[in-house]
Copies of this chain bind each other. A is one copy, B any other.
Amino acid sequence: MVKVGFIKLGNLGMSQVIDLVQDEIAAREGISTRVFGTGPKMDKETAASTEELKAWDPDFVVMISPNASAPGPKSARELWNDYPCIVVSDGPTKKDDRQALEDAGFGYIIMTVDPLIGAKTEFLDAVEMASFNSDAMKVLSTCGVVRLLQEELDAVTAQVDEGKSGADLELPHILAKPQKCIERAGFNNPYAKAKGLAALHMASKVAEVNMPACFILKEIEDVALTAATGHELMRAAAQLAIEAREIEKANDSVFRQPHSKKGVQLQKTKLYEKPQKV
């Protein structure tokens, strides 16, 4: 039984399903999952509470939060540096910062494509927040990011299964930019792939648009227009991702990679095909 712990500080698009991707029908044997989350907040004090999960003694943990360089995630990492820990976040993106993470023993998957929400009272309420996360998830799922997570976590899980543990585990060090993500998406039609890749580029652009809305602009019209623009961009990206998948459906060429009960990654492409070992 491999024990995978998830620590969620604040919220990213990927936070919504990250603990589900290894066991999509809840029937996988030999894997056990626990999640400890702090809800929307991710300050230093809140982050401290994540230590709670150590009681369960996971084989490795996945720590997901926006901006892994912020004080909260940073201090949480310090608490967990005695465990194999994979940082999943939208930053830091700079090479040196990522190297520092790696040098400190952490794995990381930095997703530049997980979009920054327009987090201002003037624009965001619970409904808009959830609707934006839905759009984000449409791109993340369809365009390869979910599968990248699934494959990487499965790879670490497999190591544990084989008897490795602690510092011996090889953790992923991935800067998940559009080009890298799209290769995991398994598109068969090249235009569908191009649409998916365009959607990822658009998702990446959202942060650029929303950044000033969140941190610089003050006037209500500026804040509201800019945040609305970021969310329209995300909406358009989601729509393009949908279009990409519809092409694959129309060709009956949707690549699927479900887990068998034993946790093997099966594969199938035609809808009426049985999933097969590869």
User: What residues make up the interface of A, taking CB atoms closer than 8 Å to B?
Assistant: 4, 6, 8, 10-11, 16-17, 19-28, 32-42, 46, 49, 52, 55-56, 119-131, 133-135, 137-138, 140-142, 146-147, 149-150, 189-195, 197-198, 201-202, 205, 208-209, 220-221, 224-225, 228-233, 235-236, 238-240, 242, 245, 247, 249-252, 256-260, 266, 268, 270-275
Contacts and interface: CB of A to CB of B under 8 A. Distances in A.
Nearest to A49: B34
B52 A32 contact: no
A270 B224 CA distance: 10
A26 B8 contact: no
29 contacts: A11-B17, A17-B126, A19-B39, A20-B39, A21-B129, A24-B124, A33-B37, A36-B36, A49-B56, A121-B266, A122-B268, A124-B258, A126-B141, A128-B141, A130-B137, A131-B245, A134-B137, A134-B141, A190-B252, A191-B232, A198-B209, A198-B230, A198-B232, A198-B233, A202-B202, A224-B271, A224-B272, A225-B271, A228-B271
A195 to B, nearest CB: 5
A33 B25 contact: no
A162 to B, nearest CB: 22
Contacts of A25: 40, 119-121, 124, 129
Contacts of A271: 123, 190-191, 194, 224-225, 228
What's the number of copies of this chain in the assembled complex? 6
Nearest to A23: B40
Best-surrounded residue of A24, A52, A224, A236 (most CB of chain B within 10 A): A24
A258 to B, nearest CB: 4
A43 B46 CA distance: 29
A258 B133 CA distance: 16
Contacts of A228: 190-191, 194, 271
B17 A130 contact: yes
A165 B236 CA distance: 45
B40 A258 contact: no
Contact of A32 (B41, B135, B202, B221): B41
A185 B54 CA distance: 41
Contact of A250 (B22, B49, B251): B251
B250 A250 contact: yes
Given A224-B271, A252-B191, A34 B38 contact: yes
B201 A233 contact: yes
Contacts of A119: 24-27
A168 B41 CA distance: 28
Nearest to A241: B131
A145 B213 CA distance: 23
